Structure 1
Amino acid sequence: MVIQIATNWKLLQFADMPCNNLTQRLKKARMLTGMSQVELANKIGISRSVLNEVEAGYRDKILRPTLLKLLTVLDKDILCDDYYRFVLEQKEKLKILVTKYGLRKLARMIGVDASSLDHWKRGDYQISRRYYDKIMELRLL
């Protein structure tokens, strides 16, 4: 009962914090845990400077491996926007699209080399927000 009240109080305390970009979402998600940047970094095994750079707005993206580490501690619903939800399922989503449209046709549709699309589909590299936005603009999913 006491834990539930404390959790609800934290949610209320930070409810008005904006979540319009990665900087704001990361800070809000971290603050809800009650952890400092140092504590969070130590807990998930990344450098505090990475967290600080994202929260300060010097980095505008995080890579999937870092995102997965953050999600072991932070609330996915707060941290992830639609783009980062896509990144978490990138391989599966792109396999579906490649099956539906074909690798070369899909690559032409979103304006990227087929080899880059193939790397994204295999999970070798993370799709950029620019190409994710193009997929969404074309309503391919």
Structure 2
Amino acid sequence: MFQTYPKVWLDYYSRNGLLMLDPMVSWGFEHAGTARWSELDDPAGVMKKAAEFGLTHGAVVVALSDSDRSICGFAKASGEFTDSEIAELAENVTTLHNLTADLLRLEPETVEQLRKMSIMVTHPDS
């Protein structure tokens, strides 16, 4: 899991156990493709809370292959993502998904390096 949202939001999100309430996660397990945050059903108000942390507009991209699934969320404050921005995100997510979906194909050293990168990105003080 790579997380690059602002640390204050990540801390709040983790502290309040929002993963299982996150509409991107539930949408991502039921769909493939893309959606804007404004299109998601959000009964727990996770996206509303995210907006309080400056994450006012977003998109979710889901890539699938065989039994692997990548769910990626993106946010910005300047307005809704355009169709072309979402298409570019989807292309990049699909490429990354295809390169990393089957970690068993990667050399053990590469897998370990990816894990270290994840820790450095999600927990920079570690």
Report the TM-score, using the length of structure 2 for normalisation: 0.24
Higher helix residue share: 1
Per chain length, whose mean CA-contact separation is higher, i.e. which structure has more relative contact order (CA < 8 Å, sep 6+)?
2
- Structure number with the higher strand fraction is 2
Greater Rg by CA: 1
TM-score (norm 1): 0.23
